[in-house]
Amino acid sequence: MHLIFGCPFSSACLTYLNIHWDTSVNFQTMILQARVNFHSVIFREVIIMAMWSIWTHRNSIIFDESFFEGMMATTLRVNSQLKDKIVVWLSSLL
């Protein structure tokens, strides 16, 4: 449930798609409210595609180490005095 309703990245993606969850109500009401507020008949399809994309992105970060590679690529732009410290920190995450 965290990945769908509590994760900041997931929340940002869904907000961008104009999908907002009211987690103060029960699950069924929350889904129905989000669908009504979405104002389109393609709500279910958008949710399915969004959840699939978020889930596969999460898996690629964890299993394909794309997060590490992406972060290493950004070190090319980092202040040279900090680069070694950042690389050591990133390596400690593996």
Examine the domain organization and report whether 31 and 7 are in the same domain: yes
Examine the domain organization and report whether 37 and 55 are in the same domain: yes
CA 32 to chain CA centroid, nearest Å: 22
Task: Flag whether pLDDT at 70 surpasses 90.
Answer: no
**Is there a contact between 55 and 19 (Cβ–Cβ < 8 Å)?**
no
Examine the domain organization and report whether 79 and 38 are in the same domain: no
Site of tokens 């390596």 = 91
**Is there a contact between 60 and 66 (Cβ–Cβ < 8 Å)?**
yes
Give the pLDDT band of residue 35 (cuts 50, 70, 90). Answer: very high
Examine the domain organization and report whether 5 and 50 are in the same domain: yes
Examine the domain organization and report whether 22 and 42 are in the same domain: yes
More confident residue, 6 or 65: 6
Examine the domain organization and report whether 93 and 53 are in the same domain: no
* Maximum average pLDDT range among 43-47, 67-71, 89-93: 43-47
- Tokens for 74? 């950004």
Task: Flag whether pLDDT at 33 surpasses 90.
Answer: yes
Examine the domain organization and report whether 11 and 30 are in the same domain: yes
Taking the C-alpha atoms of residue 27 and residue 32, their distance in angstroms, rounded to an integer, is 9
Site of tokens 């889904």 = 31
Counting the structural domains of the chain, the total is 2
Domain of residue 91, residue span: 65-94
Examine the domain organization and report whether 73 and 57 are in the same domain: no
pLDDT for the residue numbered 39: 92
Q: What are phi and psi of 6, to 5 degrees?
A: -115, -15
Instruction: Give which of 13, 1, 23 is closest to 53, Cα–Cα.
Output: 13
